[in-house]
Every structure is written in C-alpha cells, then in structure tokens.
Chains A and B, each alone.
Chain A
Amino acid sequence: AQKVTQAQTEISVVEKEDVTLDCVYETRDTTYYLFWYKQPPSGELVFLIRRNSFDEQNEISGRYSWNFQKSTSSFNFTITASQVVDSAVYFCALSLGTYKYIFGTGTRLKVLA
C-alpha cells in the first residue's frame, strides 16, 4: 500500500527559530516522486519541491532545505530562521506515476512574531 505520514499535526515556533517538518512515505515501487506543497490561508497549494526516487541529494533553496533518505523512507523539510509569512499548512505528497498524488494529512505551522 502507498501511504504518506505527517505525524506532526501542528507546530508553533517563534520567529527566527529553525523548524523541521517530517514526512514518512510507504511504497514498494522503486520509481516514485516526492513533493512538498505549501497551503496558505487562501487555500491554493503552492509547489515547493519535487524529488524522484533516484535522486537522494539534499537540496537547499534560500531558507528552505530538504533531506531525502530512502533508507528511512523520509523526506523532511527544514525552514531556517522562520518568518511569520511561513505560517501555512505544509503537505508532503507521493506520486507513483499513476496520475494521482497521495497526500499526507499536512502539518500546520504557526510562526509567532
């Protein structure tokens, strides 16, 4: 079965703190894609990053970084020096190339000023 688990329902941090959002996935397929999306209060899902199963290189984009580890089936997302504008719900998703995404339940991040 394919599944994405985001165990953290809600996280609150104070501005400028670092925060890591966890994502654990399950699949027996060897080819798959992992994604992170951000959903601000407006509701639109904003694409952040995509990783395929053959690329375990970590990635950094500004204050955002992603750690993909196939050995633990995890694809974690870290925000460094968080800002109030980072407050949103973050979703991790898995795609097996079957034209649908399997989403985790999301982690609500609250960054307090």
Chain B
Amino acid sequence: KAGVTQTPRYLIKTRGQQVTLSCSPISGHRSVSWYQQTPGQGLQFLFEYFSETQRNKGNFPGRFSGRQFSNSRSEMNVSTLELGDSALYLCASSLAGVETQYFGPGTRLLVL
C-alpha cells in the first residue's frame, strides 16, 4: 500500500506570496491532519479534515487554511507569507481520525 505523499517536497517563496501544499492520504484513509514543525515551536497541529469537513483546528492565524476533496486528498494554503512560516509542513492520514496517524515526508518551505 502506498504511503502518504506530499507535494512539492521543497519550496522557496518570498514574503507576501502565497503557497499551496498538497497531501494524498493512504488509500482508504479519510482523515487528514496537518502539522507545522519548526525548531523553535516543535510540532504544532494546524487542522484536521474528515469527509471534506474541518473537525479541529489549532491556534494559527487565518492566513493558514485548508480543504479536503471528495477523494480525501487535502491541500493547505498559506497566504501573505511571513519569514516565520518557514518550516517543515507534515501531513498525516488515518482511517477516521482517532487511530494511528501515518505521516508523509513533509514539504520544506523556506520564506525569504
């Protein structure tokens, strides 16, 4: 079974731009979660989607948004990028959200 895939793997953007990251969950998994990992803040929960509905959200500004499609694929968008948004963005999938989450390889975003 293929694992969680994330695209792109690396991104370089400049301040003020926006970015969209994509995540394809393991086949059959309907829950997708997003996390931001930085050296200073560690792993921080962004949001979780199940059947195209956001069920939980972390403490991030409105510039961070996401969505899930009917095939369970998910995207997250960050608008008006700031230097502090430079991070590894990890996507995880699970069957329904409360079981074990399996993580993708992440997208490394660098904001200049």
Contact = CB atoms under 8 A, between A and B. Distances in A.
A3 to B, nearest CB: 12
Interface residues of A, number: 22
B111 to A, nearest CB: 18
A99 B48 contact: yes
A45 B42 contact: no
B102 to A, nearest CB: 6
Interface residues of B, number: 25
Interface string A75-110: 000000000000000010001011111111110000
Given A44-B105, A99-B55, A35 B100 contact: yes
Contacts of B48: 99-100
B54 to A, nearest CB: 10
A44 B42 contact: no
A37 B56 CA distance: 22
26 contacts: A35-B100, A42-B105, A43-B90, A43-B105, A43-B106, A44-B103, A44-B106, A45-B90, A45-B92, A47-B100, A47-B102, A47-B103, A91-B43, A97-B98, A98-B56, A99-B31, A99-B50, A99-B97, A100-B45, A100-B48, A100-B56, A100-B58, A101-B33, A101-B35, A103-B35, A106-B43
Nearest 7 CB-CB pairings of A with B: A45-B103, A103-B43, A99-B97, A99-B48, A100-B45, A44-B105, A99-B56
